[in-house]
Amino acid sequence: MGAIYLKELRSYFKSFFGWLFLAVFTLFCSLYFVMYNLLNGSPYLSNTISSLVVILMFVLPLLTMRVLAEEKKLKTDQLLLTSPIRVSAVILGKFFALLTMILISSLVLFLGILILSFYGSMPVAESALSICALILVGAMFCAIGVFLSSLSEHQFIAAILTYGAFIFIMLVPSALQALFSGNEVIVKIALAIDFLSRFDNLLTGIVSLTDFLYILSVIVVFLLLAARVFGKSSLQVSLIGAKKFWFSTLGIVAIIAIIIGANIGVSFIPTKYVQYDLTKQHFFSISEESKNLLKSLNQDVTIHVLTDEQQADRALKLYLDSYQTNSNHIKVKYHPISTEGAFYMAYTDTQPSSGSIIVESGDRNYVVDSALFTVKEYSMDYSTYQYVENETGIDIEGQITAAISYVISDSETIAYVVEGHGEGALTKETSDRMKKAGFTTQSLSLLTSDAIPEDCKVLIVNGPNSDFTKEDVEKVKAYLDRGGDAIFMAAIDVIDTPNYDELLSSFGATIEKGTIWEDDPNYNYNGMGYYIVESPVAHEITDSLYSAKKKNLLVECRGFEIGDDEEFLIDPLYESSDYSYAIIYDEDFNVVADEEQKAGPFCLGFYSVKSVEGDDSQVTVIGSHVFLTDAIDAATSYANTEMFVNALTYMCDMRLNTTVPAKSYEYERILVSQGTVFLFGALLVILLPLAELIAGIVIVIVRRRK
């Protein structure tokens, strides 16, 4: 094999096609590296390598088309077959020579790791795995190309066959899965021939024995077929006994059956023994919090997935496998929409999206819509002046763990949401985050209720648009006097709400008349003084926002003046600047008061504690009545909802609950100057491929002159 390998490798460097392949593939390796990594500052090579697979499909047939077809055309195949060299050695020698060419042209990627490591922190393990994935898929393409080259003595036909096979691999499996998603047999066949899906798994940072074995199996099968086709005329005379059987048609079928059996067998091995998460942030591994919860399970929990198993999101399946691996009490069942489309109706009236899950244990269940598995934030597109949705993280583990924690719990933490005064409804984002934090929400009408229920853990009043009655105020005060907790959003000043304002002024801070106008440009949004952009004051409630430097948006906000009543312990959560003042408007936002406006700074939100009969009554008050509306909340990337839920969990002492935070896609960017990018671009994208191309031309000219 060594002699064939060296001879074949030398032939590549003596021909123009070999140097052309090196120049073209090196060019694209360098180009994508400069674009994706240096220009965009990304430390991950996965995007670069994903793009290179398509390039490899188009340039590799330049080499594979002649591997065996040329031997047949020149009749040198007979010389090889009658020599003492085994057919397997011929095939392997040519295969490894091809693979070496891919390795040489990929060296620029290893250089890329060194460059990125010099300029910043990068996930070396993930990058090395990505390059390994490229080499593996390159080896698979080489094996396919060698086999197809053995079918003809015409290089052009071999190239056409190879291009056709690569296009089939790239398009047909995914098309079959999309078109015949309801046909289980066709979907399984499509998955069996979907070579690139295993490559995609490796690019995510997951090392899987099943993926490696699958790719190696494809390589072995095509090399066996190539050996069988190329050496069929000599096998009868060169092999005897068992060796002759294994290279016969029946023997090849037996080997393929063994390989298929090995792949099926590995699929039954528990995931924890065959799969490892190499991602720097452990994107696809469950955290210790989730593992501890699973260890404590003493009852069965069923996770129903509302889609066919073959169509389920790959990341979701990775997590579900981890949950099953860590607890025998976790069972996963898939329910294809095509045959069980009405399955959800036993649990909810609203149809969840495809790929959603329903977690069930005993008589308790928890529905998680698949839309919650990703974290989305909004940013301003200044070309259109519209907010653009960006996917910034993954929250599959957080949602599943919260669901399990809920269904195994013996009690509910009920948050009553007051209605009947034009209060704003909680948004879906707010409701979903409250649900994940362990709250069950119920509506409460103070008009029809004699008192606030005893099982109320926290009371929510979301900015009323009409005043409370005195009886309503007394019911709320009675609830607080028995140690209840509550969160209030102030009413807008242009509506007359004296009773509600008096209630908010009874917690140790007096509500001001008027709407706060912020004149400091560092605090207002686009010059609109009543759109106040606030960084929260440091407090346990605001920890997550304060450390992440997140800001909240308070619109049409009321101000408060903190008193000196020793009965209350008050901590401000928001404070306006010295340049703020209170303006009194009418309903059309026309200034109606000419007297001197009261100047700031003002407290715009606070947390208050009062000791009541050995217990503490905790109240959080926020000055904006639209603090939780969809548009305002989305503009802050849901920092307003985060603040709101933080206040709830703090007051209800639920911070020790098993709540796994979402995993962010954000990474430490590689900062490279523009001059440095141009330098590496000139060296890697222009000079290096050009040097390889010139070397090929010179070698061809020199050989022709000899």
- Rounded CA-CA distance 513/558 in Å is 8
> Is the confidence at residue 533, as pLDDT, over 80?
yes
Whether 646 and 541 have beta carbons less than 8 Å apart is answered as yes
More reliable by pLDDT, 412 or 365: 365
The predicted structure's pLDDT at residue 235: 44
> Is the confidence at residue 704, as pLDDT, over 50?
yes
The predicted structure's pLDDT at residue 597: 76
> Is the confidence at residue 383, as pLDDT, over 70?
no
More reliable by pLDDT, 194 or 460: 460
Whether 414 and 485 have beta carbons less than 8 Å apart is answered as no
The predicted structure's pLDDT at residue 308: 84
Tokens of 695: 């070397």
In this predicted model, what pLDDT tens digit does every residue of 42-82 receive, in sequence order?
888 888 998 899 899 988 988 888 888 877 777 776 676 66
The predicted structure's pLDDT at residue 232: 67
Fold of 293-410: Glutaredoxin (3.40.30)
Query: What is the b/e burial string over 440-476, where b = at least 16 CB atoms within 10 angstroms of the residue's CB?
Result: ebeebebeeeeebeeebbbbbbbbbeebbeeebbebb
> Is the confidence at residue 677, as pLDDT, over 70?
yes
What is the dotted CATH code of the domain comprising 412-659? 3.40.50.880
Instruction: Give me the DSSP letters along 435-479.
Output: HHHTEEEEEEETTT-SS--TTEEEEEEE--SSPPPHHHHHHHHHH
Phi-psi sector, 430: left (phi>0), alpha (psi -120 to 50), beta? alpha
Q: Which residues of the chain form CATH 3.40.30.10? A: 293-410
The residue length of the chain stands at 706
The predicted structure's pLDDT at residue 30: 92
User: Which letter does DSSP use for residue 672 in this model?
Assistant: -
The predicted structure's pLDDT at residue 248: 62
Give the lowest-confidence range in 18-32, 570-584, 644-658: 644-658
In this predicted model, what pLDDT tens digit does every residue of 593-644 receive, in sequence order?
656 678 889 999 999 999 887 678 999 999 999 999 988 988 888 899 999 9
In this predicted model, what pLDDT tens digit does every residue of 575-593 receive, in sequence order?
999 999 898 877 666 777 6
Averaged pLDDT of the chain: 85
The predicted structure's pLDDT at residue 241: 45
> Is the confidence at residue 249, as pLDDT, over 70?
no
More reliable by pLDDT, 691 or 276: 691
The C-alpha angle with vertex 262 and arms to 261 and 263, in degrees rounded to 5, equals 90
More reliable by pLDDT, 264 or 83: 264
**φ and ψ at 590, to 5 degrees?**
-100, 140
- Prediction pTM value: 0.69
Other Cβ atoms closer than 10 A to 119:
16
The predicted structure's pLDDT at residue 330: 94
> Is the confidence at residue 137, as pLDDT, over 80?
yes
The predicted structure's pLDDT at residue 236: 41
> Percent of the chain, pLDDT > 70?
91
Give the lowest-confidence range in 128-142, 493-507, 514-528: 514-528
Whether 530 and 493 have beta carbons less than 8 Å apart is answered as no
> Is the confidence at residue 355, as pLDDT, over 60?
yes
Q: Which residues of the chain form CATH 3.40.50.880? A: 412-659
- pLDDT mean over 7-15: 85
Whether 235 and 86 have beta carbons less than 8 Å apart is answered as no
